[in-house]
Structure 1
């Protein structure tokens, strides 16, 4: 965080300012809980919010004493259930002779959540959204406790069911896929019951009999049996490519014409969504046409990622959409490793680890933590825009967008990460633009994307990203301000810290 530009910042879902003129604010602990249970954030003590939303430096009378008070309380279990900050996360900074305390709150590891205050998780667990800190409902706390366990949630044994209660046709389809990749493997010849135990779809229960696990039930059960154990279970795919009808095609788990389970849903949705991918003419070494590209592998990864990371105990279900701008994938439950770490990869932590293993056994998905980076690489190498991961809370959901455009611009109009500095969420911008995005030039699209991703855009930023002169960049930004897409911010026209941000009219 560049403190020299503090007065140009505004509070958002990753930044909180507190004047703290009367001592350490009591509300600071709620904000720490909120940041730790969401995506992290920065708290600045000694600054206050102006009427226009920008920050004004007040300074602290005795920053050293306040810092001591902070650490004494932070390490008390009565105040904070777990201190997620270390020494390097908290510092005293000076701006124009005034001292501030800056606290960088990291996202808490899932095993430490929920982080709560005053010794009471029921009344002291908070999260952060674009409106500020809010107290978590019971179902949000329960979801965090489920995620805190080191045991995958899909290993639970359902002793009220037997393997015979699973859908034999789906098991047969899965086994054929398995044999295609492991024809010589000893498991291929095992009876169904033993095979299901080997892949984690079944286990021996306390009664000594073999019963389905949650993974086996979700992957191979029939919808009505799954609903008996997971009352909120729902899978929904829609093709929405025009405005004349609500959708051109739909698949839901509640359609009794098919099983309604996760594995059959995967196969049906992939066969539909792959039609959105362009397949260039290409022959293999045997002069046979190659019908798949790396984009198909990326699509498989996106589908499997959402299905294996969904929290099937939560409401609103799994929703996949094929829209004109791209392929959208959304599931209940947040990213377990955080969006930044998911992009980097190397730390696989699926919510339903056994289901992920079952997909991996038939060469779908990636368990080594390289799934998301590999998906991004393969999708972009096929000529499409960069995939966008996003996360929202209240209710908690994770989303992936695979843009169908061949450049970087259009996807940003339709999909902005809820964790970005300006707190926009899916759909906020596209429906409120005063002009159609097709009316914007390439330079204007880049400026708009920067405003979304960075929370602001300057002449220098646009010049560098668009490869244009500063004079052209300045004219582009002024034109967007005239269109009321962006709004200028600064003390005067010669202010070196002046910038543009999304207009208040655009944000409603």
Structure 2
């Protein structure tokens, strides 16, 4: 790590990827909680010899004997009673001198899924931590179990569902799947098989080696089952597609528990895919000079994005697969975390599906057959179209992966749960924030980072509160007058309306020069221009 990067980290303060500890003479006990948290989340940096004051500013206090402290660190991290796994190499723990004071830098990597959870004090369930904003929290049993499931190389969807007869699967879905397979591959030898033999080839069914009986796999239930059958195995299973007109109304909706269709993955995909891609413009283009081409690379990329969400979802997770579309963007979310690093996901070429049988079955009908290139392809296509780059986000507690795909170049409110989550560092998105280095770095760490203040107050500020303001807008003014650092989420809770409505009202108050923002989204505050 260079001095410039380190100074920038100190200037930014503690965050999702940075933890500072005073540790003047000894290792603090909390260092192991932070180590576990960074390993189980997305990696990060621990700085020893750095203190944080009440205003969240960092200052270098120094280490008295860095070599002794480093040796003590290695002794403890290699003790299985202290930490379950040491994932560090020598070059990731080192002393650093700033302003004639020594500190210790510990670069903690994100653990490979085979090593998670990394826990402390020889206690799996009470000693497993994760990172949330600028602190560490103890994982719930549900989170620990999810990490344990992801350790296995044989994915969960291959598991046999006990006491489920394959005849309980939805026959119409099986017929539609076979019809599509036959149309895609008319000469394939599997087309001559009966349903049982065909489903055995797909992985939807398995032969019991002890009894030679036919058993249904979890993948078979997800792909060909009914909603009732699926929720018996996955109580939190839910599929939801919405076309949003505003935050409270939708013009079209398809969800798995509606009761008027099967509710399984195969039918969900083909019920919504045309709706999902209908916003993509198709230029007039002929193939061989005769037939119009109705498909573009954008259609293909969107199909891949939806398939990836269904294939990589953790169906034991609390949240279902949710697809929300409005005129400006599409947001696809699925339960579970990334099984590879975010950088690997963005670069493409690495595939580690959570449900390998589902992957195989979708690929059989030419859906999601690209290995590890779906997101990379989507980014390239959107760049060629001149649109903003799609955004991939990993969120924890509950574990979710979001991909937000813009349809326009205009700025609009995110359909993700809260923009404040990003500013507080509660989610992980690309690019990695702690790798951003400013063009110009100060020679030393400033005592206080100055707020970014506008040049002047707007010329026209009303003398009194306009009569046209709504009750909610007046309430927002009152709250910001009492506490000018309230976040959108806090305002939403106090006013009793959604975060999107809060943002709309904030923008209207700014347009009328009643409030202004001083500083950035993370450290700034609101200035109420009228009392």
- TM-score (normalizing by structure 2): 0.80
Larger of the two Rg values belongs to structure: 2
Which residue number corresponds to residue 232 of structure 1?
236
Matched, 1:93 2:93: no
Bigger drift between 8-17 and 412-421 goes to: 412-421
User: 1:182/1:456 Cα in 2 relative to 1: closer, same or farther (>3 Å)?
Assistant: closer
- 1:459/1:103 Cα in 2 relative to 1: closer, same or farther (>3 Å)? closer
Aligned mate of 1:220, from 205, 220, 224: 224
Deviation at 1:4, TM superposition (A): 3.2
CA distance 1:239–1:275, shift in 2 (3 Å): same
> Aligned with 2:249: secondary structure?
coil
State the secondary structure of the residue aligned to 2:375: helix
Contact 2:230 2:237 in 1 (8 A): yes
Q: RMSD over aligned Cα, in angstroms?
A: 2.9
| Contact 2:16–2:426 under 8 Å retained in 1 | no
Give yes or no for the alignment of 1:27 onto 2:47. no
Question: How far does the alpha carbon of each residue in 1:375-430 deviate from its partner, in whole angstroms, 9 at most, with x for none?
Answer: 222333334321111011111111111111247x658796999997851659xxxx
**Could you say which residue in structure 2 is the equivalent of 1:169?**
172
Q: Residue in 2 aligned with 1:490?
A: none
Matched, 1:338 2:341: yes
Question: What corresponds to 2:360 in structure 1?
Answer: 357
- Structure 2 CA distance for partners of 1:299 and 1:486, relative to 1, 3 Å: farther
Distance 1:224 1:415, change over 3 A: closer
Q: Distance in 2 between matches of 1:502 and 1:330?
A: 25
Distance 1:50-1:456 versus aligned 2 partners, 3 A rule: farther
The aligned residue for residue 471 of structure 2 is none
- Where does structure 1 lack aligned partners over 5 or more consecutive residues? 427-448, 462-475, 488-499
Match of 2:401 in 1: 398
Counterpart contact for 1:392–1:418, Cα < 8 Å: no
> Which 5+ residue runs of structure 2 have no aligned equivalent?
442-451, 459-514, 527-531
**Contact between 1:46 and 1:58, CA under 8 Å: does it hold in 2?**
yes
* Partner Cα distance (1:417, 1:349) in 2: 29
Partner of 1:423: 425
Instruction: Look up the match of 1:158.
Output: 161
Cα distance in 2, alignment partners of residues 195 and 3 from structure 1: 59
Paired residues in the alignment total 456
Equivalent positions of 1:305-320 (< 5 A) are 305-320=308-323
Distance of aligned partners of 1:91 and 1:460 in 2 relative to their CA distance in 1, 3 Å threshold = closer
C-alpha separation in 2, matches of 1:457 and 1:41: 16
Deviation at 1:316, TM superposition (A): 2.0
CA distance in 2 between counterparts of 1:257 and 1:398 reads: 28
CA–CA distance in structure 1, aligned partners of residues 405 and 456 of structure 2: 27
Is 1:505 the equivalent of 2:525? yes
Give the match's secondary structure for 2:86.
coil
CA separation in 1, counterparts of 2:456 and 2:417?
A: 20
Aligned partners of 1:298 and 1:379 also within 8 Å: no
What is the Cα deviation at residue 6 of structure 1?
4.3
- More displaced 10-residue stretch of structure 1: 6-15 or 39-48: 6-15
Q: Are 1:3 and 1:95, in contact at CA under 8 Å, matched by a contact in 2? A: no
Q: Does the C-alpha gap of structure 1 residues 481 and 292 become closer, same or farther in structure 2, counting only changes over 3 Å?
A: farther
For 1:189-338, list aligned pairs within 5 A.
189-205=192-208, 206-242=210-246, 245-338=248-341
Q: 2:46 maps to what in 1?
A: 43
TM-score for both structures, normalised by structure 1 = 0.83
8 Å contact from structure 2 (residues 319, 400) kept in 1: no
Q: CA deviation at 1:304?
A: 0.8
Contact 1:486 1:502 in 2 (8 A): no
Match of 1:443 in 2: none
Query: What whole-Å deviation, never above 9, does each CA across 1:7-40 have from its counterpart, x for those lacking one?
Result: 4121011100001124111100000000000010
Instruction: After superposing the two structures, state which structure 1 stretch, 255-264 or 355-364, moved more.
Output: 355-364
Distance change in 2, residues 1:413/1:138 (3 Å): closer
Report 1 or 2 for greater relative contact order, CA contacts < 8 Å, sequence distance ≥ 6: 2
SS of structure 2 residue aligned to 1:139:
helix
Greater mean deviation of Cα atoms: 452-461 or 103-112: 452-461
Q: Does the residue aligned with 1:280 lie in a helix, a strand or coil?
A: coil
